[in-house]
Amino acid sequence: MNRQDVCDVYCYDEEKVRRIQRRLNEENMASIVPFFKALADENRAKLVYALCGEEELCVCDLANVIGATVATTSHHLRILYKQGIVKYRKEGKLAFYSLDDDHIRELLLVALAHQKEGDHRGE
């Protein structure tokens, strides 16, 4: 196998590796995996994007935005809620959802901007 995207010889910078490992040990990387998994579904990403442009939306509005049933939309919203991506409030018989904080909005908008830049190497 002749690949150009791997090293031809095995060597590494021990100091860099130790420095990075120390930084990794200070962070809980495993704790963010479920967060990104929640956003890895197209419908959930659409729900978050819809909430980026509105203060809040009720479940019925969100269901119509993604073309899904209220039950399916509620399921997606529960997953997002459990990961701290959205929050909700009840008003009578309606449930209104909004983004948990501006970090979520920034993260999604930066990801979309990156995607629009192109050159994603066809993978």
pLDDT at 118 over 70: yes
Structure tokens at 119: 């050159």
Structure confidence by residue, pLDDT tens digits, 88-98: 999 999 999 99
Strands (E), the chain: 57-58, 86-91, 94-99
Region 35-57: what's the mean pLDDT? 97
The domain that contains 111 carries what CATH number?
1.10.10.10
Please indicate, yes or no, if residue 5 is contained in any of the structural domains: no
pLDDT level of residue 6 (50, 70, 90 thresholds): confident
**What is the domain extent for residue 46?**
36-116
Q: Average model confidence (pLDDT) for the chain?
A: 93
Query: Would you say the pTM of this structure is higher than 0.95?
Result: no
- The closest of 92, 103, 87 to 55, measured between CA atoms, is 87
